[in-house]
């Protein structure tokens, strides 16, 4: 028992160290080159123009990418707990697309209400989730049925999202929000927005950890242990949808984060949500920060959207999970 907890502490410390390391590397890498000491001096006394640009443009996108990663990874972990299915992910089952469509609508019709976009996105995500939940449920969620229904819902919303610019003129610039995600134009305003909704979501997720663990048992077992199963399902789902929708509203569409990260978390720290949720949050932040940093450096000066990187990495991973999905959950 003791060696196990030492291993977990080492694992979390290592993860945090890597995250900080990547953050520092990302801060000094890109189209503007600067040494760490120049950057720190520039940030402190405000004389170096390069440091000012990094502060205004590079830092927000780095922080936002980490927030989006943490939110999507935890959202995936929560959905997988509710559906008892390792393939549940906000991107795969259409929640992100639903949230994206509603965000497009809001910013197209009422651009001044931008601050409320995560809540509006939440409504869109909830619609998509209810569709999938209602149609894919046959007493349980077979992995394949869930993915099929999810892909259909995803396609419907993606299609609507691509139709919208033809009808709502001012949303043209936002049109690619729904099919890709690039953090290029991130502002501190975006960061504050997601920091608000994301923190609420992550804090609520933390409170729901015991329920997530109980939902890993059968419904009737959880009921016999005094859990209000339906209430727990609704609460955990709502937080998952909130996190995914807020991420989609501010950060755009990123596939596979919610799929890949919780799976890695289960491999590293096991099925207990007390460990796997914090692990997912950290690892998700790391993954998307790496994807965004790679996207803006490997083909510089051209930029590859983080979402493209995630698809190239995440696609094969989904195939691998599908191959293994017959043997999950102790059957």
Report the interface residues with other proteins, using CB under 8 A. Answer: 1, 210, 214, 216-218, 220-221, 223-228, 270-272, 329-331
Nearest one of 257, 255, 275, 256 to 265, comparing CA atoms: 275
In this complex, which beta carbon is closest to other proteins, that of residue 12 or of residue 23?
Answer: 12
In this complex, which beta carbon is closest to other proteins, that of residue 138 or of residue 220?
Answer: 220
Local structure of residue 141 (DSSP, 8 states): -
The CA angle 89-250-315, to the nearest 5 degrees, is 35
Rounded to the nearest 10 degrees, what angle do helices 59-83 and 257-269 cross at? 70
In this complex, which beta carbon is closest to other proteins, that of residue 8 or of residue 59?
Answer: 8
Q: Give the shortest CB-213-to-other proteins separation in angstroms.
A: 8
Q: Give the shortest CB-107-to-other proteins separation in angstroms.
A: 40
Q: Give the shortest CB-214-to-other proteins separation in angstroms.
A: 7
Q: Give the shortest CB-288-to-other proteins separation in angstroms.
A: 27
- Token pair for residue 253? 């569409």
In this complex, which beta carbon is closest to other proteins, that of residue 170 or of residue 221?
Answer: 221
**H-only helix segments in 137-272:** 143-167, 188-207, 209-215, 219-224, 229-251, 257-269
Q: If phi over 0 gives left and psi between -120 and 50 gives alpha, with beta otherwise, what is residue 141?
A: beta
**140 contacts 88 by C-beta, under 8 angstroms:** no
Q: Give the shortest CB-241-to-other proteins separation in angstroms.
A: 24
In this complex, which beta carbon is closest to other proteins, that of residue 1 or of residue 112?
Answer: 1
């Amino acid at each position: 028992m003791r060696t196990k907890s030492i291993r977990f502490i080492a694992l979390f410390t290592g993860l945090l160290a890597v995250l900080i390391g990547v953050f520092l590397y990302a801060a000094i890498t890109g189209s503007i080159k600067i040494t760490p000491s120049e950057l720190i001096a520039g940030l402190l006394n405000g004389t170096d123009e390069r440091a000012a640009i990094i502060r205004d443009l590079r830092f927000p996108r780095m922080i936002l990418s980490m927030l989006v990663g943490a939110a999507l990874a935890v959202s995936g972990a929560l959905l997988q707990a509710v559906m008892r299915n390792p393939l549940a992910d906000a991107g795969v089952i259409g929640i992100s697309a639903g949230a994206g469509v509603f965000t497009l609508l809001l910013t197209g019709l009422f651009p001044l209400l931008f601050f409320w976009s995560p809540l509006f996105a939440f409504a869109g995500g909830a619609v998509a989730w209810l569709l999938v939940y209602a149609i894919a449920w046959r007493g349980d969620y077979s992995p394949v049925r869930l993915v099929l229904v999810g892909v259909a819902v995803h396609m419907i919303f993606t299609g609507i999202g691509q139709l919208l610019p033809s009808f709502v003129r001012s949303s043209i610039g936002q049109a690619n929000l729904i099919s890709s995600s690039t953090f290029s134009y991130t502002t501190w305003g975006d960061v504050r927005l997601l920091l608000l909704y994301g923190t609420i979501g992550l804090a609520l997720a933390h409170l729901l950890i015991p329920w997530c663990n109980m939902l890993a048992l059968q419904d009737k077992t959880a009921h016999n242990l005094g859990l209000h199963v339906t209430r727990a399902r609704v609460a955990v789902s709502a937080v998952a949808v909130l996190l995914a929708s807020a991420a989609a509203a501010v950060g755009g569409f990123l596939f596979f984060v919610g799929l890949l990260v919780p799976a890695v978390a289960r491999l590293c720290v096991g099925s207990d949500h007390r460990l796997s949720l914090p692990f997912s949050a950290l690892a998700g932040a790391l993954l998307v920060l790496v994807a965004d940093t790679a996207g803006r450096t490997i083909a510089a000066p051209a930029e590859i959207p983080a979402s493209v990187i995630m698809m190239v990495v995440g696609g094969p991973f989904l195939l691998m999970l599908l191959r293994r999905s017959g043997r999950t959950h102790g059957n």
